[in-house]
Homo-oligomer: A and B are copies of this chain.
């Protein structure tokens, strides 16, 4: 089995998922959904533009694909601490349960293996749905490069 046919098979699966939601399986949607599936953490519009490389879409089209993903329930959209939207697969995400570290220099996001700290106590009657722990600073590589 060639690399090409394997890749095409994965795209077919994604395309089927899209059609199942009642929408058209366009290259833009297939590519973006594949990226979200492979992502270790929630991605920004910018992250995705970078990742698309050659298969670059128009900026606006990407915004619309992302909005469509959210509307159709395939992705979640959250504003991060620096007020940019991040998108992640709606499927029970593996990266909801741990903390993330983002390097201020290289921008890379690391999933921290350690269990996240327990949430602080909430006032009476508050219902916790989700906790995000976002650490920022310099990764080992960038820290060393500056030493």
Contacts and interface: CB of A to CB of B under 8 A. Distances in A.
Contacts of A141: 125
Interface string A132-143: 111111111101
Interface size class of A (residues with CB under 8 A): 35 or more
Contacts of A123: 110, 140
A129 B138 contact: yes
A52 interface: no
Interface in A58-84: 79-84
Contacts of A139: 125-126
A27 interface: no
Contacts of A116: 120
Interface core residue of A114, A124, A131 (most chain B CB under 10 Å): A131
A41 to B, nearest CB: 14
B132 A81 contact: yes
Contact of A126 (B84, B121, B122, B140): B140
5 contacts: A79-B80, A115-B120, A119-B133, A123-B140, A130-B135
